[in-house]
Amino acid sequence: MAEAADDRTFTRVAAVDEFHNDRGRMVYYHGTKVAVFRQGESFFAVNDRCPHMGAAMSGGRITNGVIRCHMHGWEFDVTTGECKTKHWAKLPRYEVRIEGNDILLRPILDEQATNPDDDLDSFMAWDPSKETS
């Protein structure tokens, strides 16, 4: 009897040599858009949808472990997914495995439960006039 597919299986999504340093690129993980970033020899992967207004995170850049959204500049710690600009926001991350020239991903399950739409109430309650920075 065949076992059910493990949707946490590492899946090849791209090749290492397709990436430029400090840049992101969108890939598909089983139909889900994921932003993969290269910083030196390290690779990081997060959901490709910014929790602010949905811009493609893959259009941003990574500097010193921080991904900056190209649209309005929100910043996210690549090691936790936590937003440094708005502390209620978070980017779900993926585990990255490098095998030769292949980049493989699998989701970190407890983080995948965080849908950017879940943060809509916090976003709607956000009053920019009360921002201090």
Residue ranges of the alpha helices (H) in the chain? 109-112, 120-125
With CB under 6 A as the contact rule, which of the stretches 14-22, 32-40, 52-60, 95-103 interacts with ligand FES?
Answer: 52-60
Residue 120 binds ligand FES, judged by CB under 6 A: no
In the complex, minimum distance from the CB of residue 55 to ligand FES, in angstroms, rounded to a whole number:
4
Cβ–Cβ < 8 Å for 101, 71: no
Residue whose pair of structure tokens reads 């439960």 in the numeric block = 113
Q: Which of 32, 55, 82, 123 is in the footprint of ligand FES by CB under 6 A?
A: 55
Residue 37 binds ligand FES, judged by CB under 6 A: no
Which helix (H) or strand (E) segment holds residue 29: the answer is strand 24-29
Cβ–Cβ < 8 Å for 100, 15: no
State the residues that interact with ligand FES by CB under 6 A.
Answer: 50, 52-53, 55, 69, 71-74
